[in-house]
Amino acid sequence: MDLGLISVCQMQLADALSVIERMRPQDLECLHALRGFMSSEAFAVDRWSTEGPAWVVMDGALPVCIGGLTFHSEWLAVAWFIATPDMRPESWRKVIRHSRTVFSKAADPSFEHYRHRIEAHVMADWPQAQGFAKRLGFSFEGTRRGAGRCGEDFQTWAIVGPPKG
């Protein structure tokens, strides 16, 4: 099924809700392990109102994934990403290119919102998500044993630059 032009734009609340209501089972499992149960509406508002850039990948008029950076402090950002089963290979290529651009800019010391550390938290038993983190330029740092709500293990991946001066 050809849905049309694939584009990346600033995420709107309706986009977040649409993607969250249709997210892949692995994304839902990861969300519950990291954050506990949240209603679709509450999580959509949480992602939409995050401090930091947030984007949506549109396949025609259909939002197929959302992603972004949450600025936790003046030096730390955490990358996040939620996809639907509607992602086509072209959508994955577009989100990888866009994410690399955003992360590269955020990791540039001359950028106004520079963060010298960008983290991604990935379930240790999800090799596809680990490969995605690696393709986005993150380096594996270690496994946080029992970090999930029900004792799931999570991996920490990071992009690290020089500290702010």
Give the pLDDT score at 125.
95
> What is the per-residue pLDDT for 3?
58
Give residue limits of the domains in the chain.
6-160
What ranges in 36-123 are assigned the alpha helix state H?
Answer: 40-48, 89-106
Q: Supply the pLDDT for residue 111.
A: 85
For residue range 53-106, list pLDDT tens digits in order.
999 999 999 999 999 999 999 899 999 999 999 999 999 999 999 999 999 888
pLDDT bin (cut points 50, 70, 90) of residue 1 is very low
- Packing angle between helix 13-21 and helix 40-48, nearest 10 degrees? 140
Superfamily of domain 6-160: Gcn5-related N-acetyltransferase (GNAT) (3.40.630.30)
Mean pLDDT, the chain, rounded, equals: 91
Closest CA to 19 of 51, 55, 71: 55
- CA distance readout (Å), 98 to 28, 44, 81: 23, 21, 12
State how far the Cα of 38 lies from the Cα of 27, in Å rounded to an integer. Answer: 13
